[in-house]
Homo-oligomer: A and B are copies of this chain.
Amino acid sequence: MARFMDVHSGFVGVTEDQLREAHERDLAIQDTEGVSFERAWLDPESGKVFCLSTGPSKESVMRIHEQAGHPTGEVYEVSVDIT
Protein backbone atom coordinates (compact mmCIF):
# COMPACT_ATOMS: atom_id res chain seq x y z
CA MET A 1 0.00 0.00 0.00
CA ALA A 2 1.08 3.56 -0.68
CA ARG A 3 0.11 6.89 0.81
CA PHE A 4 -1.46 9.64 -1.30
CA MET A 5 -2.30 13.31 -0.94
CA ASP A 6 -4.86 14.57 -3.39
CA VAL A 7 -5.95 18.14 -4.01
CA HIS A 8 -9.37 19.40 -5.07
CA SER A 9 -10.30 22.95 -6.10
CA GLY A 10 -13.70 24.60 -6.30
CA PHE A 11 -14.98 23.98 -2.75
CA VAL A 12 -15.38 27.72 -2.13
CA GLY A 13 -17.86 28.41 0.70
CA VAL A 14 -18.37 24.73 1.42
CA THR A 15 -19.33 24.01 5.06
CA GLU A 16 -17.94 21.35 7.39
CA ASP A 17 -21.19 19.37 7.06
CA GLN A 18 -21.02 19.48 3.28
CA LEU A 19 -17.38 18.34 3.30
CA ARG A 20 -18.26 15.52 5.71
CA GLU A 21 -21.07 14.43 3.36
CA ALA A 22 -18.67 14.32 0.41
CA HIS A 23 -16.07 12.50 2.53
CA GLU A 24 -18.68 9.95 3.62
CA ARG A 25 -19.54 9.20 0.00
CA ASP A 26 -15.85 8.25 -0.41
CA LEU A 27 -15.84 6.16 2.78
CA ALA A 28 -18.99 4.30 1.66
CA ILE A 29 -17.32 2.90 -1.48
CA GLN A 30 -13.58 3.02 -0.69
CA ASP A 31 -13.37 -0.68 0.15
CA THR A 32 -14.25 -1.57 -3.44
CA GLU A 33 -10.78 -0.31 -4.45
CA GLY A 34 -8.87 -1.09 -1.23
CA VAL A 35 -8.51 2.61 -0.54
CA SER A 36 -8.68 4.16 2.93
CA PHE A 37 -9.27 7.89 3.31
CA GLU A 38 -7.67 9.01 6.56
CA ARG A 39 -8.23 12.74 6.78
CA ALA A 40 -9.43 15.72 4.74
CA TRP A 41 -8.73 19.44 5.15
CA LEU A 42 -10.70 22.31 3.60
CA ASP A 43 -9.96 26.00 3.08
CA PRO A 44 -13.45 27.32 2.28
CA GLU A 45 -12.01 30.70 1.18
CA SER A 46 -9.76 29.39 -1.60
CA GLY A 47 -11.93 26.29 -2.14
CA LYS A 48 -8.96 23.92 -1.78
CA VAL A 49 -9.42 20.47 -0.25
CA PHE A 50 -6.55 18.12 0.64
CA CYS A 51 -7.27 14.42 1.19
CA LEU A 52 -4.82 11.96 2.75
CA SER A 53 -5.34 8.30 1.89
CA THR A 54 -3.65 4.95 1.52
CA GLY A 55 -4.36 2.58 -1.31
CA PRO A 56 -2.95 0.34 -4.04
CA SER A 57 -2.53 3.08 -6.69
CA LYS A 58 -3.22 6.71 -7.69
CA GLU A 59 -5.82 5.42 -10.12
CA SER A 60 -7.73 3.60 -7.36
CA VAL A 61 -7.93 6.86 -5.36
CA MET A 62 -9.05 8.76 -8.48
CA ARG A 63 -11.76 6.17 -9.26
CA ILE A 64 -13.26 6.41 -5.77
CA HIS A 65 -13.32 10.22 -5.87
CA GLU A 66 -14.87 10.12 -9.34
CA GLN A 67 -17.58 7.64 -8.35
CA ALA A 68 -18.28 9.74 -5.23
CA GLY A 69 -18.90 12.78 -7.46
CA HIS A 70 -15.80 14.89 -6.81
CA PRO A 71 -13.13 13.85 -9.31
CA THR A 72 -9.58 15.21 -9.23
CA GLY A 73 -6.53 14.62 -11.39
CA GLU A 74 -4.19 15.96 -8.72
CA VAL A 75 -3.17 12.86 -6.79
CA TYR A 76 0.38 12.61 -5.45
CA GLU A 77 2.06 9.51 -4.03
CA VAL A 78 3.67 10.87 -0.89
CA SER A 79 6.27 8.19 -0.26
CA VAL A 80 7.94 10.34 2.42
CA ASP A 81 5.91 11.26 5.53
CA ILE A 82 7.67 12.94 8.47
CA THR A 83 6.59 14.49 11.74
Contact = CB atoms under 8 A, between A and B. Distances in A.
Interface residues of A, number: 29
Contacts of A29: none
Interface of A: 3, 5, 7, 14-16, 19-20, 23, 38-46, 48, 50, 52, 76-83
29 contacts: A3-B41, A5-B41, A5-B48, A5-B50, A14-B80, A15-B80, A16-B82, A19-B82, A20-B82, A23-B82, A39-B82, A40-B80, A40-B81, A40-B83, A41-B52, A41-B76, A41-B82, A42-B78, A42-B80, A42-B82, A43-B76, A43-B77, A43-B78, A43-B79, A44-B79, A44-B80, A45-B77, A50-B76, A50-B78
